[in-house]
Amino acid sequence: MAAQTYFKFFNSVAFRNFTRSLSNTIKEPKFMGINTRFTDILKFVNSESYESIPVYRLLSSPKCQVSHTEAKIDNDLLLKMYESMVRIRTMDKILYESQRQGRISFYMTNMGEEAIQIGSAAGLKLEDIIYAQYREAGVLLWRGYKYSQFINQCYGNHEDPGKGKQMPVHYGSKELNFVTISSPLTTQLPQAVGAAYAIKRAKKDACVVCYFGEGAASEGDAHAAFNFAATLDCPIIFLCRNNGYAISTPSLEQCRGDGIAARGPAYGINTIRVDGNDVIAMHHVTRVARDFCIKEGKPVLIEAMSYRLGHHSTSDDSTTYRAKGEIDDWTKESPIVKLRQYLENLQLWDDERNKELEASVRQEFLREFEEAEKKLKLNWREAFTDVYQDMPHHIKKQMISMERHLKEYQEHYPLKEFQAS
Amino acid sequence: MILNKLCAGCRPTRPKLLSNPVKSVTRENEISSRSLHFTFVPDKKSQKAGETQRLNMFQAINDGLKLALARDPTAVIFGEDVAFGGVFRCTMGLKDQFGADRVFNTPLCEQGIAGFGIGLANQGVTAIAEMQFADYIFPAFDQLVNEAAKMRYRSGGQFNCGKLTVRSPCGAVGHGGLYHSQSPEAYFAHTPGLKIVVPRGPIQAKGLLLSCIEDPDPCIIFEPKALYRGAVDDVPTGEFRTPIGKAEVLREGTSVTLVGWGSQVHVLLETADIVEKKLNASCEVVDLVSILPWDTEAVCKSVKKTGRLVIAHEAPLTNGFGGEIAATVQEECFLHLEAPIQRVTGWDTPFPYIFEPFYLPDKWRCFDAIKRILKY
């Protein structure tokens, strides 16, 4: 068709009538809150409609040849991260064994997830506020929590800042900005969002980091938190440790979507999936996420893919629901193994140094352990404190009634393990 | 979860109120058609506090919230639909005065609201959360019971959320049915670490609100929604505190002690009049005010004097807070009791819609209980 004809058609009354008749149907949708287009193709959106979110990694396995320049990480930091991972592993071994011997009542190891903890902790600053689940002891260790402090908490002795009120591994440290852990899963998520809102209003140069497992992400509180963080623009990093299991439940029975990461964009949250066994990737991603959420005042979701090498806890025997071969395979991929190979390639590390480190850590830890074991627990009256800031009359009355009871029946109570008044 | 029509269920406010600065009152009061099962008795003691203004309860709460935001720059108010003023008008004008970052809507999710509030309070922020109806507080039960209540204890005092206050409309409103009528105070009263209060009118609503906001522990304030518009008091204009944990003897008497809280107090006051007229006996009426911790001393002192006790609450009988009071009083006042303690409460059923008049512990049921124990 000649250009002339085109011109004539577009100026014709017929064309104008034609477009007018369409004007009610072809205009863009105006539904509130949704920015999209109309379609006349009936198509369900499902996992085939998009590519699964890839796993970001910098260390390749088994031989690590990737340079870590992208992560701007110097060798000293790399070595410190490695040492910290070994330290947490050593602590786990000893405390796990001590539970087996009945010396502490309960324990949960961090095995296989050391890179998630150490890598992310190294990417943060001390003023960032941590809300954790319970498998994040490495974060505390990185922040400066001492062996003695971990052990005091597990023993609930008089030096436990938690005053012996919670089960082992429920750590907390005001000075290290690590909010005390509680057992109910996921409750810390919306709380962390509230804390993030608070520090944003206070214009602090900090963010909140909230750790949780992929199982915990099934709780309603996770939904609440993601949605509140997005709609209220809170500077928070949600860091999901996807280690394949929630006690015995494999992640496939936990969710059928593309893991936890796929949920992020649905809430309007910047999201990334990362190799949780790659400490360099963990460190780099956390640092970038931190910068983003402070600068933009918005949340980030990181799904760190890993594998829970240990049992869920000392009350669990994971061989009853998973194959040993599976554990062995992942042991070869474990973050400590991967980083060690990398350090050896760079000639920053060798067998001898490794032996030295492990021996010295073990020695130091056992020394602290013996010290902690000897310490008394707080006076029993502490059971009545901190319910409220000030002890109300009715609680005081109950404490006095226990006092009276103990006077008469003291031989039936383990008073020797507790400080006298 | 919004059921705006509930706002219309209260008695018309007094003509004087029409001159009040909160203009919307006028329009909505015109819709009022149904009467409640009690008559609000204004607070006689209000004059003591200097300058006052006539306010209904939602206005008194609004006034309290305004003072709290003005004096404390960290304070924030959040919940469902609070930004435009709230479905009961308690937050009217606050967003405009204090900014959208201090008075804001949250997504519709009670567990999120409670958890978010705890996190704010962890950081030392004064967090004033609203649950649109007490009936919808249960999704937040875990956050309030396992988290807010236990945070100070479990951390050995390292962390707390004492700056959290949760406000929530509660109680019967004439036509609220199952989910706009509940009185869930007893569920929370079983939770060490929380403080729970229920105001009986505008003065206490403002005073208790300011106390809760300032209190170093997490507080829940259940506001009887039937009082929002119907109840009018001369409310002190400045700041004042109604103490938490203290009951108030509203009427002295010698024959029987009547204990209640919230709007039930007005039922008891009216019942006391009837008792006086028909039975020639005098009732001592005690507003418990605070459910946790509760004022055992004041209640026991009164029972030791009268020798008889009737406890009345809207919530169901079994495991209602009346049970706790009865058990404590029989332990403390065993030798003084001249009749079994009576509990006049809602029945052990869900809160019904058309049967509300038969469900509530109204003045005639209270009167009957008193009559029977006076004869005992």
**Does A66 have pLDDT greater than 60?**
no
**Does B6 have pLDDT greater than 70?**
no
Model confidence pLDDT, tens digit, residues A189-207 = 999 999 999 999 999 999 9
Over residues A364-384, mean pLDDT: 95
User: What does the mean pLDDT of chain B come to?
Assistant: 92
Q: Tell me which chain A residues have a C-beta less than 8 angstroms from the C-beta of B293.
A: 392-394
Query: What is the least distance, in Å, from the CA of A230 to any CA of chain B?
Result: 10
Give the tokens for residue B105.
Answer: 């809507």
| Top-confidence residue, B28 or A75 | A75
Pairwise CB contact (< 8 Å): B195 & A192: no
- Using the Cβ of B154 and the Cβ atoms of chain A, whether some distance falls under 8 Å is answered with yes
Q: Tell me which chain B residues have a C-beta less than 8 angstroms from the C-beta of A227.
A: 107, 109, 112
CA distance B294 to B313: 15
CA distance B187 to B220: 12
Q: Please state the length of chain A.
A: 421
| Helices within chain B (DSSP H only) | 24-31, 57-71, 94-98, 110-122, 141-142, 151-154, 185-189, 202-214, 227-230, 264-279, 296-306, 321-332, 356-359, 363-375
Query: What is the least distance, in Å, from the CA of B66 to any CA of chain A?
Result: 19
Residue A3 binned pLDDT confidence (cut-offs 50, 70, 90) = low
Per-residue confidence (pLDDT) for residue A59, from 0 to 100 = 85
The contacts of residue A238 (CB under 8 Å, 6+ apart) are: A189, A210, A212, A225, A226, A229, A264, A269, A299, A300, A301, A302
Choose the weakest-confidence range: A184-188, A314-318, B7-11, B60-64.
B7-11
**Does B133 have pLDDT greater than 80?**
yes
Q: Which residues pair with A179 in a beta bridge?
A: A131
CA distance B217 to A16: 70
Per-residue confidence (pLDDT) for residue A317, from 0 to 100 = 92
Q: Tell me which chain A residues have a C-beta less than 8 angstroms from the C-beta of B217.
A: 388-389
Residue in the structure block whose two tokens are 């990417």: A123
CA distance A101 to B19: 76
Contact criterion met (CB below 8 Å) for B80 and B130: yes
Question: What letter does residue B248 receive in the DSSP assignment?
Answer: E
Among A320, A377, A358, smallest CA distance to A104 is for: A377
The contacts of residue A228 (CB under 8 Å, 6+ apart) are: A190, A193, A234, B106, B107, B109, B112, B116
C-alpha pair distances (Å), A130 with each of A117, A140, A199, A299, A411:
11, 9, 13, 14, 43
User: What is the DSSP secondary-structure string of B261-283?
Assistant: -TTHHHHHHHHHHHHHHHH---E
Phi then psi dihedrals of residue B235, to 5 deg: -95, 130
Task: Name the CA radius of gyration of chain B, rounded.
Answer: 20
**Does B317 have pLDDT greater than 80?**
yes
- B213-230 b/e with 16+ CB inside 10 Å = b? bbbebbbbbbbbbbbbbb
Question: What letter does residue B146 receive in the DSSP assignment?
Answer: I
Per-residue confidence (pLDDT) for residue B359, from 0 to 100 = 98
Mutate which of A180, A378, A385 to disrupt the B interface (most B C-beta within 10 Å)? Answer: A180
Q: Which long-range contacts (CB under 8 A, 24 or more apart) does A69-75 make?
A: A70/A284, A71/A280, A71/A281, A71/A283, A71/A284, A72/A284, A73/A280, A73/A283, A73/A284, A75/A346, A75/A348
Per-residue confidence (pLDDT) for residue A393, from 0 to 100 = 96
User: What does the mean pLDDT of chain A come to?
Assistant: 92
Pairwise CB contact (< 8 Å): A162 & B116: no
**Does A380 have pLDDT greater than 60?**
yes
Over residues B106-121, mean pLDDT: 98
Per-residue confidence (pLDDT) for residue A270, from 0 to 100 = 98
Contact criterion met (CB below 8 Å) for B203 and B238: no
Residue of B nearest to A164 (CA): B156
Taking each helix axis from N to C terminus, what angle separates A13-26 and A3-11, rounded to the nearest 10 degrees?
70
**Does B10 have pLDDT greater than 50?**
no
Q: What is the ipTM of this complex?
A: 0.92
Q: What angle do CA A176, A305, A183 make, to 5 degrees?
A: 50
Contact criterion met (CB below 8 Å) for B292 and B157: no
Catalytic positions of A: 97, 183, 312-313
- Using the Cβ of B118 and the Cβ atoms of chain A, whether some distance falls under 8 Å is answered with yes
The contacts of residue B252 (CB under 8 Å, 6+ apart) are: B282, B284
Contact criterion met (CB below 8 Å) for B194 and B149: yes
User: How far is Cα of residue A37 from the mean position of the Cα atoms in its chain?
Assistant: 38
Residue of A nearest to B109 (CA): A224
Residue A46 binned pLDDT confidence (cut-offs 50, 70, 90) = confident
Question: What letter does residue B145 receive in the DSSP assignment?
Answer: I
C-alpha pair distances (Å), A290 with each of A156, A297, B120:
34, 10, 20
Residue A19 binned pLDDT confidence (cut-offs 50, 70, 90) = low
CA distance A375 to A357: 28
**Does A143 have pLDDT greater than 50?**
yes
Pairwise CB contact (< 8 Å): A190 & B143: yes
Per-residue confidence (pLDDT) for residue A27, from 0 to 100 = 75
Per-residue confidence (pLDDT) for residue A12, from 0 to 100 = 64
Choose the weakest-confidence range: A42-46, A221-225, B35-39, B345-349.
B35-39
Residue B7 binned pLDDT confidence (cut-offs 50, 70, 90) = very low
Per-residue confidence (pLDDT) for residue A240, from 0 to 100 = 98
**A265 preceded by a cis bond (ω within 30 of 0):** no
Residue in the structure block whose two tokens are 């870590």: A68
Among B58, B352, B35, B351, smallest CA distance to B182 is for: B351
Over residues A73-97, mean pLDDT: 94
Among B51, B81, B68, B75, smallest CA distance to B234 is for: B51
CB burial of residue B371 (10 Å; 0-12, 13-18, 19+): middle
Query: What is the least distance, in Å, from the CA of A89 to any CA of chain B?
Result: 25
C-alpha pair distances (Å), B284 with each of A152, B36, B295, B365:
54, 23, 15, 17
Over residues B116-121, mean pLDDT: 98
% of chain B beyond a pLDDT of 90: 88
Q: What angle do CA A35, A39, A45 make, to 5 degrees?
A: 80
Contact criterion met (CB below 8 Å) for B137 and B110: yes
Tally: H helices and E strands in chain A: 14, 9
Model confidence pLDDT, tens digit, residues A246-265 = 999 999 999 999 999 999 99
Q: Enumerate residues 318 to 357 of chain B having a beta carbon within 8 A of any beta carbon in chain A.
A: none
Pairwise CB contact (< 8 Å): B116 & A201: no
CA distance B117 to B147: 11
**Does B90 have pLDDT greater than 90?**
yes
CA distance A142 to A162: 20
Residue A316 parent element (H or E): none
Among B297, B279, B296, smallest CA distance to B373 is for: B279
Q: Tell me which chain A residues have a C-beta less than 8 angstroms from the C-beta of B115.
A: 187, 189-191, 193-194, 221, 224-225
Per-residue confidence (pLDDT) for residue A141, from 0 to 100 = 98
Give the tokens for residue B13.
Answer: 């406010």
**Does B22 have pLDDT greater than 80?**
no
Query: What is the least distance, in Å, from the CA of A388 to any CA of chain B?
Result: 6
